[in-house]
């Protein structure tokens, strides 16, 4: 006796199991699994895919380990079951928006990233197709439930399910060319999200879908006979317009239902361009054409490269139907090239498909190839998308796209530069990981940060594995470049301006001389230029400036600039004694400066407002717990503490600190708060 097939084993096993699960009755779960398997069989997936659908999720729940799952069902089915589970965990990552509302630009980007993330989570394309079939069964069950029970709560669930379908699953089915699922999903989602409009369009149709589909089959036969009699080798395909397609046409072209002339559409594929026009002539001879509904996109292609002939004909009962005629090459370009069908449909027929480089272009190329494979009937098993991108989540369910191999530090810098600088650890799905651990698609990453922190130079060492992405590395380099520039500026003496040491090359000396001459030539100009929140240097665009360490100016202190050798303009407080000495020695180097306009409210609220370093000196009685009180006060005043030195005697304490403040007003408020601490004798600005 021969061993039963894998599919037969799955059928027998599911009959013996208890299918009770959360939110489902045993009978519902059992039937849903069977209908999902029927869907994937109709889509041409293999026996392993059908078997996995029949036994999911119970087989996964019953298995005590991955090894047991493989031993019972084999690696292929076990891999599919695990893949199903990974995608099931993605449900609800994007909360549903308002009914009928267009997603914002930022939300649309997140939706698009979620679609790519779903594909990236599945190293086997059969997982994605089967999950789409699972989703279609959920839609069918919801429709059945609504017919049986008209509860308000059920309508809310249907609305949420319909919105999720329109945003994620239907576009994915469209991109993969799985038209049967796309149409079925869209019609049901349309019914859930806009029930009144759905019912109105359904009422307008004077024939049921089965009758419309029968019309399509009769017309295909008639068109095939017509092409054969004309000696043309042609492939004729057709499908009725679905309710959601009708709604979209009416909405996008502002048409009334009676004005629609392509409720039934057909496509004829021929060998050559001349065959296209021959087929058109045969159609116009056999049927009555509507002259105002003819478009020649072969002679005048669409902006995205789409080519085809479109004509609308009337049958013997004066029912209009549309026919598109194109060559096989035109069809391939339209379906898989720059005029990709999914791009044309999802952008309303106006967008030019991406032809650039990067992860988006690479993703589109993979989808085009997958759709060719599905459309041409090749085996679907073990088709894998490349793994050069990963998709991870913040605790708030925001999706972040990174290069494969990216670490928690890369993730932090992708969110915000300051988060990266302050990152000291991370958790992946609640488990602590090292900063060098590569992240994986689908993980939820929680960053562990300090309040005040700076990056480490070790992060730039490739062999240590802290950073993978160029974006993160460039942010760390920028920090240290700025730090080195500041240190060089602080180390050079300003008073008296002694000559710089002999440069290492004549070219460098000539360059510095040229810069200095340019600055001096512009000192007398009167037009100030700078961005908001910066120092305005009169007559000089994008001038390199830095603040003098001797007086540390703050807005709105009166300030004056002094042209230094090779380091741009040093900004001093107008009453700075060091500046007074230099002005007396070299008055021609003085340049007018002022503070730029303050940052806008929006930039201030986003954390973009600049801060300035200033020194303070505090004298107080020595007492236990004083440092804690001082630190708490600074935190309360939203002032960051940098360098700190202390000098103590048996009775007193002297602190010299560098703090970061936004302006003199914040500094004054901070000094007043510090003076109010117990035992403080004095607090002054250096």
pLDDT digits (tens, 9 = 90+) for 233-252: 999 988 656 788 888 878 87
Residues 261/319, Cβ–Cβ less than 8 Å? no
Percent of the chain whose predicted confidence (pLDDT) is above 70: 70
Strands 569-573 and 545-547: parallel
* 553 close to 559: Cβ distance less than 8 angstroms: yes
In the chain, count of helices (H) and strands (E)?
Answer: 25, 22
Token pair in block for residue 85: 């589970």
Angle at 161 between CA 78 and CA 208, to 5 degrees: 105
Q: How many residues in the chain?
A: 686
pLDDT at 393: 79
CATH of domain 6-91+107-193: 1.10.3210.10
pLDDT at 500 over 70: no
Are β-strands 264-270 and 288-289 bridged in parallel, bridged antiparallel, or unpaired?
unpaired
Contact 373, 383 (CB under 8 A): yes
Q: Name the H helices within 3-103.
A: 6-15, 26-42, 47-55, 58-62, 66-88
Q: Residue 362: is its pLDDT beyond 80?
A: no
634-669 confidence digits (pLDDT tens): 878 888 877 778 888 888 888 888 888 888 888 988
What is the structure's pLDDT at 205? Answer: 72
SS3 501: coil
Burial (0-12, 13-18, 19+ Cβ within 10 Å), 486: middle
**668: β partners:** none
Residue 69 has pLDDT above 70, yes or no: yes
Distance CA 202, CA 339 (A): 31
Q: What is the DSSP letter of 625?
A: T
Question: Which residues are within 8 A (CB) of 92 and not within 5 positions of it... i.e. 6 or more apart?
Answer: none
Radius of gyration for the alpha carbons in the chain, expressed in angstroms and rounded: 35
Alpha-carbon torsion angle 559, 563, 564, 569, nearest 10: 50
Calpha distance 163→318 (Å, rounded): 37
**Torsion over CA: 22, 24, 29, 35 (sign):** negative
pLDDT tier at 90, thresholds 50, 70, 90: low
Report the mean per-residue pLDDT for the chain. 75
**Does residue 34 contact residue 19 with C-beta atoms inside 8 Å?**
no
Every domain of the chain with CATH number 3.30.460.10 lies at 206-336
Cβ partners under 8 Å of residue 466, min gap 6? 407, 409, 435, 436, 456, 458, 459, 460
- Facing residues of 641 across strands? 659
Which contacts (CB < 8 Å, 24+ apart) does range 99-105 have?
Answer: 99/159, 99/163, 99/193, 99/194, 100/193, 100/194, 103/167
> Both tokens of residue 44?
């041409």
**Cβ neighbours of residue 636 under 8 Å, at least 6 residues apart?**
673
What residue ranges of the chain are covered by domains with CATH 1.10.3210.10?
6-91+107-193
> Rounded CA gap, 117 and 114, in Å?
5
Burial (Cβ within 10 Å: 0-12, 13-18, ≥19) of residue 502: exposed
Tokens representing 439? 């992240």
Calpha distance 518→512 (Å, rounded): 10
pLDDT score, position 99: 38
Integer Cα distance of 133 and 40 in angstroms: 7
More confident of the two residues 486 and 146: 146
| 389-486: CATH topology | Ubiquitin-like (UB roll) (3.10.20)
Determine the straight-line distance between the first and last CA of the chain, rounded to whole angstroms.
96
* CATH 3.10.20.30 domain position(s) in the chain: 389-486
pTM, to two decimals? 0.49
Q: Is 521 helix (H, G, I), strand (E, B) or coil?
A: helix
Q: Which residue has the higher pLDDT, 97 or 665?
A: 665
CATH for 206-336, among 1.10.10.200, 3.40.50.1360, 1.10.760.10, 3.30.460.10? 3.30.460.10
DSSP labels for 279-302?
A: HHHHHHHHSEE-GGG-EETTTS--
**CATH 3.30.70.260 in the chain, residue ranges:** 612-685
Q: Which CATH number is associated with domain 612-685?
A: 3.30.70.260
CA distance 46 to 1: 24
> Which pLDDT score, from 0 to 100, does residue 280 have?
92
């Amino acid at each position: 006796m021969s061993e039963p097939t894998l599919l037969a084993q799955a059928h027998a096993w599911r009959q013996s199991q208890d299918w009770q699960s959360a939110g489902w009755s045993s009978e519902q779960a059992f039937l849903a699994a069977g209908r999902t398997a029927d869907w994937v069989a109709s889509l041409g997936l293999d026996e392993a895919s059908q078997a996995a659908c029949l036994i999911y999720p119970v087989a996964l729940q019953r298995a005590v380990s991955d090894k047991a799952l493989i031993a019972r069902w084999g690696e292929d089915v076990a891999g599919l079951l695990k893949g199903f589970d990974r995608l099931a965990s993605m449900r609800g990552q994007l909360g549903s928006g308002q009914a009928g509302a267009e997603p914002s630009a930022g939300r649309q980007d997140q939706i698009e990233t979620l679609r790519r993330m779903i594909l990236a989570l599945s190293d086997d394309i059969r997982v994605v197709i089967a999950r789409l079939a699972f989703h279609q069964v959920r839609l069918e069950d919801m429709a059945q439930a609504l017919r049986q029970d008209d509860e308000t709560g059920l309508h809310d669930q249907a609305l949420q399910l319909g919105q999720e379908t329109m945003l994620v699953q239907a576009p994915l089915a469209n991109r993969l060319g799985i038209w049967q699922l796309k149409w079925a999903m869209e019609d049901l989602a349309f019914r859930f999200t806009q029930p009144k409009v759905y019912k109105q369009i359904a009422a307008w149709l004077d024939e049921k879908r089965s009758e419309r589909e029968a019309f399509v089959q009769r017309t295909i036969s008639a068109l095939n006979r017509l092409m054969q009699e004309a000696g043309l080798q042609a492939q004729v395909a057709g499908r009725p317009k679905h309710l959601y397609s009708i709604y979209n046409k009416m909405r996008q072209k502002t048409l009334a239902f009676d004005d629609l002339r392509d409720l039934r559409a057909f496509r004829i594929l021929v060998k050559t361009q001349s065959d296209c026009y021959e087929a058109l002539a045969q159609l116009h001879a056999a049927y009555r054409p509507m002259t105002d509904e003819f478009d020649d996109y072969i002679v005048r292609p669409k902006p995205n490269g789409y080519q085809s002939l479109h004509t609308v004909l009337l049958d013997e009962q004066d029912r209009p139907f549309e026919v598109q005629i194109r060559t096989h090459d035109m069809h391939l370009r339209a379906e898989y090239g720059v005029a990709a069908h999914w791009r044309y449909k999802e952008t309303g027929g106006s967008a030019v498909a991406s032809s650039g480089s990067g992860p988006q272009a690479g993703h589109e190329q993979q989808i085009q190839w997958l759709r060719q494979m599905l459309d041409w009937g090749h085996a679907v098993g073990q088709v894998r998308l490349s793994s050069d991108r990963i998709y991870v989540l913040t605790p708030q369910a925001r999706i972040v796209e990174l290069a494969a191999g990216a670490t928690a530090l890369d993730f932090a810098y992708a969110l915000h530069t300051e988060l990266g600088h302050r990152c000291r650890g991370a958790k992946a799905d609640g488990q602590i990981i090292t900063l060098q651990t590569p992240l994986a698609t689908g993980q939820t990453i929680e960053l562990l940060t300090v309040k005040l922190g700076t990056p480490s130079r070790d992060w730039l060492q490739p062999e240590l594995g802290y950073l993978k992405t160029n974006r993160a590395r460039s942010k760390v380099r920028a920090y240290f470049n700025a730090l080195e520039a500041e240190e060089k500026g602080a180390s050079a003496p300003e008073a008296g301006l002694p000559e710089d040491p002999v440069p290492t090359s004549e070219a460098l000396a000539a360059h510095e001389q040229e810069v200095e001459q340019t600055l001096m030539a512009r000192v007398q100009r009167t037009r100030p230029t700078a961005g908001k929140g910066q120092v305005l240097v009169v007559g000089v665009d994008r001038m390199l400036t830095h603040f003098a360490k001797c007086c540390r100016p703050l807005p709105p202190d009166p300030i004056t600039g002094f042209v230094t050798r090779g380091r741009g303009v040093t900004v001093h407080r107008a009453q700075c004694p060091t500046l007074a000495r230099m002005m007396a020695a070299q008055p021609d180097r003085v340049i007018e400066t002022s503070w730029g306009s303050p940052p806008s409210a929006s930039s201030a609220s986003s954390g973009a407002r600049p801060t300035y370093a200033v020194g303070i000196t505090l004298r107080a009685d020595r007492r236990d717990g004083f440092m804690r009180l001082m630190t708490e006060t600074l935190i309360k005043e939203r002032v960051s503490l940098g360098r700190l030195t202390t000098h103590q005697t048996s009775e007193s304490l002297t602190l010299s600190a560098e703090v970061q403040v936004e302006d003199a007003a914040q500094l004054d408020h901070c000094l007043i708060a510090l003076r109010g601490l117990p035992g403080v004798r004095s607090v002054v600005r250096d």
